[in-house]
Amino acid sequence: MSNQLTVRPLDLKAATQTMSNRVYIFDTTLRDGEQSPGCSMTVPEKTRMAHKLVDLGVDILEAGFPIASDGDFEAVDAISREFPWVTVAALGRACTLDVERAAQSLKHARRPRIHTFIATSDIHLKHKLKKSRQQVLDEATAAVELAREHVDDVEFSAEDGARTDAGFLEEISKAVVAAGARTVNIPDTVGYSAPREYAEIIGRVVKALGDSAIVSVHCHDDLGLAVPNSLAAVEAGARQIECTINGIGERAGNCSLEEVVMVMKTRNDLYPYSTGINTEHLYSASELLSSMITFGPQPNKAIVGRNAFAHEAGIHQDGYLKEKSTYEIIDPKSVGVPEGKLVLGKHSGRHALHKRCEDLGFSLTKSALDSLYHRFTALADRKKGVMDEEIIALIGEREAKHAVGD
Ligand code: MN
Give residue 364 CA to ligand 1 midpoint distance, Å. 56
Q: How far apart are CA 337 and CA 309, in angstroms?
A: 8
Give residue 28 CA to ligand 1 midpoint distance, Å. 9
Q: Coil, strand or helix: which one is 280? A: helix
User: Among 102-116, 229-243, 345-359, which stretch is predicted with the lowest mean pLDDT?
Assistant: 345-359
Give the single-character DSSP code of 29. I
Give residue 218 CA to ligand 1 midpoint distance, Å. 7
Give residue 4 CA to ligand 1 midpoint distance, Å. 23
Cα dihedral 38→39→41→45 (10° resolution) = 120
* Phi, psi (deg, nearest 5) at residue 66: -55, -30
Percent of the chain past pLDDT 70, that is, above it, reads 93
The per-residue pLDDT for 406 is 40
More confident residue, 19 or 337: 337
Confidence class of residue 248 from pLDDT cuts 50, 70 and 90?
very high
Output the average pLDDT for the chain: 92
Mean pLDDT, residues 49-64 taken together: 98
Q: How far apart are CA 377 and CA 82, in angstroms?
A: 55
Is the Cα dihedral 40, 87, 168, 217 positive or negative? Answer: negative
Give residue 44 CA to ligand 1 midpoint distance, Å. 23
Give residue 249 CA to ligand 1 midpoint distance, Å. 7
Give residue 405 CA to ligand 1 midpoint distance, Å. 69
Give residue 53 CA to ligand 1 midpoint distance, Å. 19
The per-residue pLDDT for 11 is 57
Predicted TM-score (pTM) of the model is 0.88
Q: How far apart are CA 227 and CA 220, in angstroms?
A: 9
Give residue 105 CA to ligand 1 midpoint distance, Å. 21
Q: How far apart are CA 387 and CA 341, in angstroms?
A: 13
Mean pLDDT, residues 224-235 taken together: 98
Give residue 366 CA to ligand 1 midpoint distance, Å. 58
The per-residue pLDDT for 384 is 81
Q: How far apart are CA 240 and CA 59, in angstroms?
A: 9
The per-residue pLDDT for 10 is 54
Give residue 163 CA to ligand 1 midpoint distance, Å. 14
Give residue 17 CA to ligand 1 midpoint distance, Å. 29
Give residue 36 CA to ligand 1 midpoint distance, Å. 10
Confidence class of residue 399 from pLDDT cuts 50, 70 and 90?
low
260-315 residue pLDDT tens: 999 999 999 999 999 999 999 999 999 999 999 999 999 999 999 999 998 888 88
Give residue 189 CA to ligand 1 midpoint distance, Å. 5
Give residue 235 CA to ligand 1 midpoint distance, Å. 21
Q: Which residues of 118-144 are buried (b: 16+ CB within 10 A; e: fewer)?
A: bbbbbebbeeebebebeebbebbbbbb
Q: How far apart are CA 39 and CA 37, in angstroms?
A: 6
The per-residue pLDDT for 318 is 87
- Tell me the chain's radius of gyration from C-alpha atoms: 26
The per-residue pLDDT for 17 is 57
Which CATH superfamily, name and number, covers 3-292? Answer: Aldolase class I (3.20.20.70)
Residue 218: strand pairing partners: 187, 242
Give residue 61 CA to ligand 1 midpoint distance, Å. 15
Mean pLDDT, residues 107-114 taken together: 97
Q: How far apart are CA 393 and CA 261, in angstroms?
A: 43
Nearest partner of 48 among 354, 284, 272, judged by Cα? 284
CATH architecture, domain defined by 310-405: Orthogonal Bundle (1.10)
More confident residue, 96 or 343: 96
Establish whether domains 3-292 and 310-405 are of one fold.
no
Confidence class of residue 25 from pLDDT cuts 50, 70 and 90?
very high
Q: Where are the beta strands (DSSP E) in 228-314?
A: 240-243, 310-311
Domain boundaries, the chain: 3-292, 310-405
Residues near 255 by beta carbon (within 8 Å), at least 6 away in sequence: 217, 218, 219, 221, 226, 227, 229, 230, 241, 242, 243, 244, 247
Confidence class of residue 403 from pLDDT cuts 50, 70 and 90?
very low
Answer whether residue 321 shows pLDDT above 60: yes
Q: How far apart are CA 103 and CA 180, in angstroms?
A: 16
Mean pLDDT, residues 228-253 taken together: 98
Rounded to 5°, the CA angle 129-179-3 comes to 45
More confident residue, 386 or 73: 73
Widest Cα–Cα separation across the chain: 94
Nearest partner of 344 among 360, 328, 325, judged by Cα? 360
What is the separation, in whole angstroms, between the first and last Cα of the chain?
A: 82
Rounded to 5°, the CA angle 108-113-116 comes to 125
Q: How far apart are CA 282 and CA 402, in angstroms?
A: 49
12-21 residue pLDDT tens: 555 555 679 9
Nearest partner of 342 among 321, 357, 323, 363, judged by Cα? 321
Give residue 86 CA to ligand 1 midpoint distance, Å. 22
